[in-house]
Amino acid sequence: MRRRVGGLETEFGLVCVRADGTRALEPEAAARELFRPVVAQGRSSNVFLRNAARLYLDVGSHPEYATAECDDWWDLVAQDAAGERILAELVGSANARLAEDGQDARIHLLKNNVDSQGNAFGSHENYLVDRRGEFTRLPRYLLPFLVTRQIVTGAGGVVVDRPLGEPTAPGTPRFVFSRRSDHMWEAVSSATTRTRPIINTRDEPHGDPTRFRRLHVIVGDSTRSEVSTHLRFATTDLVLRLIESGRTLPELALADDIAAIRVVARDLTGAEPLELAAGGTTTALEVQQRWLDLASTVAEPAEQGVLETWQKALDAVRTGDRSWAAQHLDWAIKERLVSQVVERRGVALDDSVIERLDLGYHDIDPSGSVFASLCRRGLAPAVLDEERIAAAVTTAPASTRAHLRGQVVTAALEHGVDHVVDWTTLRLTRSGSAPVQILDPFQTRSDEVDALLARIRGGGAPTPGAV
Amino acid sequence: MSQQSINAPRPGDDEENASDAVTGGQTFASAQGADDLLDEIDAVLEENAETFVRSFVQKGGE
């Protein structure tokens, strides 16, 4: 597909602590407090917003924000950043209510992927692919790319390796490209919570099932850097386009994807040999470089920047020169920060101070977090300008179906009209109102939606009992 | 697709630029910047780091 729709679902970690760091509220209670204004407005903890994104509480009381459909990856970064803003605002108002109430309790939302006991939660990428494309052929080419992509887009972090079957033995802590890699158990499957795969095959196209399929990639780390988030989508999109193009592709299928993903995470040189299914070996750097070189044959002129950034990221691993990466890519920003704090405080990599630092990096607090401190000093990238992010809080992407959903939600909220929407369907709850279905994610105009908007604006007196 | 320069920090966000001009030394300014950063981060790390980390336990999601 030359134009592709994509979206990003982020589950956030939630902790509510007293000033002394002990837990003040259980996650369920903290989530209830956080979502109080959402439920007050939408009478549900599962709503679609004016920017056409979905906000809800997922399994395990994880607040989840799913961006609207985007066909431009900077739009997607803006929509994702908007989600952080929206949630940070909810955190701010919840903490103000708790303080007013005299409670010693403060909520932190963490855009990361694992709690202190190793429970995992996700950052799921969605890509629209053509139903006619051979979905069965796709993983063979995509998997080696996804296994090694972490050397570019990983969030970095520390893992402690212990001898097998000895969970209390002294371990060896090390800095890795991606902690998420240790939570991957299969290459391709339909599971998400038990045996988590790299590619999830649940077939929910959220569109015309005869034309579209949704590729659900769940191997990614939640990224804070806008450059890292952009690269996740922009590079994967280019690789998908290559696979769809029918040209000859590199045969890089790995002998064991799961063994390889853990090796790649731990090898900061990108040069460790990885066994190929067909015999012989490759390396993470080689897999990425092969795809990057090929991508230059399908990239549009406007995508030259993506190719250059991708190359800079690979060069940072190849040469060990982190000067660019340490200000642009999550794993390298965190690598530098961790080494500075280790040196300054004389602590080991597995000291709880370093884990606290990691949590601070992923805390979405716009003023007090470690990441905010880095951004203020230009030590983490802020690519999108303020206006674009502020606009994305209230406005859906204009070039996809999200534009229609955003208009309906915005009008319905303005006029106090009860409505129910999901990814494909728009409907008013008043009796006699027929649902409008939009099965083409690229559709941005619809007479039926125009009629629906007219009904909302015309007969829009709030129904009795409505907020 | 829109183009973005990914090398420029957001204008106005970087207060160090002003102090660079005053001190005149790029190296000095960036070393100072790192120290400032670490001083600021110390406040987060010294606030019951271990207890905070232990408090963050939540059922898995996905």
Q: How far does the CA of residue A144 sit from the closest CA of chain B (Å)?
A: 23
Would you state the pLDDT for residue B8?
Answer: 44
Query: How large is the ipTM?
Result: 0.92
First to last CA, chain A: 43
d(CA A378, CA A381): 6
Q: What residues of chain B lie within 8 A of the CB of A120, using their CB?
A: 60-62
Cα end-to-end distance, chain B, whole Å: 31
Q: Which H helix or E strand runs over B9?
A: none
Q: How many CB pairs under 8 A join A and B?
A: 167
Residue A47 DSSP symbol: E
State residue B34's pLDDT score: 76
Structure-token pair, residue A321: 């020169």
What are A358-402's pLDDT values in tens digits? 999 999 999 889 999 999 999 999 999 999 999 999 999 999 999
Give the helix/strand (H/E) hosting A353.
helix A352-362
- Cβ separation A193–B60 shorter than 8 A: yes
DSSP H or E stretch at residue A49: none
Smallest CA–CA separation between B19 and chain A, in Å? 11
- Give the tokens for residue A188: 């391709």
B52: nearest CA partner in chain A: A21
Q: How far is B2 from chain A, CA to nearest CA, in Å? A: 7
In chain B, residues with a C-beta closer than 8 Å to the C-beta of A323 are none
Burial of A133 (0-12, 13-18, 19+ CB in 10 A): middle
* Nearest beta carbon to residue B57 from set A117, A226, A341: A117
Contact A16, A23 (CB under 8 A): yes
Identify all chain A residues contacting B11, using CB atoms and an 8 Å cutoff: 385
Does B24 contact chain A (CB < 8 Å)? no
CB A123 within 8 A of CB A9: yes
Q: Is-contact A33 A94, C-beta < 8 A?
A: yes
Helix, strand, coil percentages in chain A from 3-state DSSP, rounded to 5? 40, 20, 40
Q: Express each pLDDT in A123-156 by its tens digit.
A: 999 999 988 876 778 999 999 999 999 999 999 9
Whether residue B52 and residue A356 make contact (CB cut-off 8 A), yes or no, is: yes
What DSSP line would sit under A81-133, residue for residue? HHHHHHHHHHHHHHHHHHHHTT---EEEEE-SSB-TT--B--EEEEEEEETTS
Query: Which one is catalytic: A58, A115, A315, A351?
Result: A58
Would the CB atoms of B10 and A385 count as touching at under 8 Å? yes
Secondary structure of residue A422 in the 3-state scheme: coil
H runs (alpha helix) in B1-62: 16-23, 26-45, 49-55
**Residue pair A198/A178 in contact by the 8 Å Cβ criterion:** no
Specify whether the CB–CB gap between A396 and A51 falls below 8 A: yes
CA–CA gap between residue A57 and residue B34 (Å, rounded)? 38
pTM reported for the whole predicted model: 0.92
Question: From B5, which residue of chain A is nearest by alpha-carbon distance?
Answer: A383
- The DSSP result for A266-329, as a single string, is H-TTS-S-EEBTTSSEE-HHHHHHHHHHHHTTT--GGGHHHHHHHHHHHHHHHH---TTGGGT-
Mean pLDDT of B13-27: 40
> Residues A200-243: pLDDT tens digits?
988 899 999 999 999 999 999 999 999 999 999 999 999 999 99
Chain A CB contacts of B38 below 8 Å: 340-341, 344
Asked if the Cβ–Cβ distance from B48 to A72 is below 8 Å, we say no
All residues at 6 or more sequence positions from A19 whose CB lies less than 8 Å from its CB, including other chains: A104, A106
Three-state DSSP state, B43:
helix
- Residue A324's φ and ψ, nearest 5 degrees, are -80, -50
Q: What is the mean pLDDT of residues A300-319?
A: 98
Across chain A, mean pLDDT equals: 94
Rounded distance between C-alpha atoms, residue B55 and residue B38, angstroms: 24
Question: In this structure, are residues B56 and A15 in contact, taking their beta carbons and an 8 Å threshold?
Answer: yes
* Res B30: pLDDT: 60
Q: Do A355 and B45 touch (CB under 8 A)?
A: no
Q: Where are the domains of chain B?
A: 24-55
Q: If we measure between CA atoms, which residue out of B10, B20, B47 comes closest to residue A366?
A: B10
Q: Which of A157, A144, A158 is closest to A224 using CA atoms?
A: A157
Range in A31-35, A63-67, A318-322, A461-465 the model is least confident about: A461-465
Q: Distance of CA A182 to CAs A84, A158, A160, A331, A353, Å?
A: 26, 11, 11, 16, 22
Give me A280's structure tokens.
């012989």
DSSP A70: B
Nearest-Cα residue of chain A relative to residue B1 = A72
Instruction: Give contacts of B 39-58 with A, CB under 8 A.
Output: 40-41, 44-45, 47-58
pLDDT number for residue B31: 65
- What is the signed CA dihedral for A248, A254, A258, A264, rounded to 10 degrees? -90
CA-based angle A376:A71:A85, to the nearest 5?
A: 35
The answer to whether A220 and A230 are in contact (CB under 8 A) is: no
Please compute the mean of the pLDDT values over residues A410-419 and round it to a whole number: 95
CB within 8 Å: B3 and A305: yes
CA angle A151, A84, A225 (to 5 degrees): 25
pLDDT value at position A281? 98
Which one, of A270, A223, A242, lies nearest residue A8 by Cα?
A223
CA distance B43 to chain A (A): 10
Q: Which of B4, B14, B33 sits opposite A383 (nearest CB)?
A: B4
Within 13 Å and on the Cβ side, how many CA atoms surround A294?
Answer: 25
Is A182 catalytic? The answer is no
Please say if the pLDDT value at position A430 is more than 90.
no
User: Does B18 contact A at CB distance below 8 Å?
Assistant: no
Q: Which positions in chain A touch B62 (Cβ < 8 Å)?
A: 11, 58-59, 120-122, 124, 192-193, 196, 218
Crossing angle of the two packed helices A352-362 and A330-345, in degrees rounded to 10: 140
Q: What is the pLDDT of residue B9?
A: 45
DSSP 3-state of A300: coil
CA dihedral A296, A384, A10, A148 (to 10 degrees): 30
